[in-house]
Amino acid sequence: MNHLTIQEQTIIRQILSETKNKNIDNISRTDAYFRFYKKNPDIIWSFLASMVSRNGGWNMCDLEGSIFPQLIDAGMRKQLFLTYERANWLIFHDVFPQLLLYQYSTKINRSMFHLLPYFNVSTFIQKEWNRYWKEKDRKRMTTALIINEQNVIQTPVIEHPVFKKKVFHSMIFSFQDWLHFSCVLFPTCGGEVYGASVNGFKSLSKRINLGKRLASILFHPRLFPYFLEFAEKTPHTGSRYDYERYFKVKTLGKTPLLRTSFPVIAHHQHIYEDWSNHRKVSPAWLYFPVRHRHPIHLTDWYFAKSNQLQLLLSLQKGIDLNKWE
């Protein structure tokens, strides 16, 4: 860093400090993504990130809600929480410096992306930011960020020996995957829910495809204003009450608030490796068009899934899910 100007060194320090301050928990990250989007509406990925992050919080809080503690033992619930939290933290740690550097570049009207290597981000995404600065192709930049962030979590989370053994190879995870309980939802203040299911979470290509499908739903010209209204009006707490309160029919399950349920986790930084040095970018990731194989309007589906969970709970005396590990 010695050859950098004092101004450049200051920018790096400020960005690292701001990223650390906002990477506290799921609530602070969700809020930071959305605030960034409001200041920089051309970086539409940051709105997608905030809405997906809300879902991460709801999934975390489900673990301490009225149903899952009766189906899954405490040790397994803790592992699931740590998996969500680690992926959440890693993505923010990687991407938020990129966003802040972009914001700074727009402020001074000059590209500062030559500083990106100081934040340990992939050469793939460095090239994409430089390209975006020249071409302003929002769709491509959104796709590039989806590709980058899913690759960022692939080795340290999905392929991590502990998470792999205790979470991704567990029967309960396969069961959840099969039932599509892991679903990313975009609610509206009118009590409707849209979204897509995460089926095959362990597959990098499937997660990237899901990200692209979610972006096409979130920014659908007819639906986007409703999702934005929800985000503006509804503070993120981690409880599913955030959006269930808008439903016309009351749901039975209860989920608590995130900050009353979970401690702040102190994360260690793993040894940084540039994923794009050893993993090829599939043309399908960048160029294949989005296809929705299932309906995106999920209000009825959501109520059916809630009923399935209630049924599962009433059957759990006969089926001991805690043995499914």
Q: Is pLDDT at 6 greater than 80 in this prediction?
A: yes
> What is the secondary structure of 78-143 as a DSSP string?
HHHHHHHHHHHHHHHHHHHHHHHHHHHHHHHTS--GGGGGGGT--HHHHHHHHHHHHH--HHHHHH
* Gap between the Cα atoms of 63 and 78, Å rounded: 8
Helix axis angle for 45-62 and 74-108, nearest 10°, is 160
Q: Is pLDDT at 172 greater than 70 in this prediction?
A: no
Mean pLDDT of 180-203: 87
User: For 25-62, how does the pLDDT look when each residue is reduced to its tens digit (9 = 90+)?
Assistant: 999 999 999 999 999 999 999 999 999 999 999 999 99
Q: Are 238 and 58 in contact (CB under 8 A)?
A: yes
User: pLDDT above 70 covers what percent of the chain?
Assistant: 90
Please give the pLDDT value at position 53: 98
Mean pLDDT of 235-255: 92
User: For 259-309, how does the pLDDT look when each residue is reduced to its tens digit (9 = 90+)?
Assistant: 999 999 999 877 889 999 999 999 999 999 999 989 999 999 898 888 877
Please give the pLDDT value at position 319: 55
Backbone angles phi, psi at 39, to 5 degrees: -80, -25
DSSP 168: I
Backbone angles phi, psi at 197, to 5 degrees: -90, 150
Q: Is pLDDT at 316 greater than 70 in this prediction?
A: no
Please state whether 200 falls in left (phi above 0), alpha (psi between -120 and 50) or beta.
left
* Gap between the Cα atoms of 300 and 286, Å rounded: 32
pLDDT band at 244 (very low <50, low <70, confident <90, very high): very high
* Gap between the Cα atoms of 225 and 167, Å rounded: 37
Mean pLDDT of 153-176: 72
- The whole-chain average pLDDT of the chain stands at 90
Please give the pLDDT value at position 163: 65
Please give the pLDDT value at position 130: 98
Please give the pLDDT value at position 175: 59
In the chain, domain spans: 26-95+138-323
- Integer angstrom CA distances of residue 317 from 92, 199, 320: 40, 27, 7
* Gap between the Cα atoms of 168 and 162, Å rounded: 9
**Residue 179 vs residue 9, higher pLDDT:** 9
- Amino acid, single-letter form, for residue 294: H
User: For 109-150, how does the pLDDT look when each residue is reduced to its tens digit (9 = 90+)?
Assistant: 999 999 999 999 999 999 999 999 999 999 999 999 999 999
Q: Is pLDDT at 313 greater than 90 in this prediction?
A: no
* Gap between the Cα atoms of 130 and 258, Å rounded: 37
Q: Are 213 and 196 in contact (CB under 8 A)?
A: yes
Please give the pLDDT value at position 320: 56
Please give the pLDDT value at position 253: 75
Mean pLDDT of 161-185: 66
pLDDT band at 202 (very low <50, low <70, confident <90, very high): confident
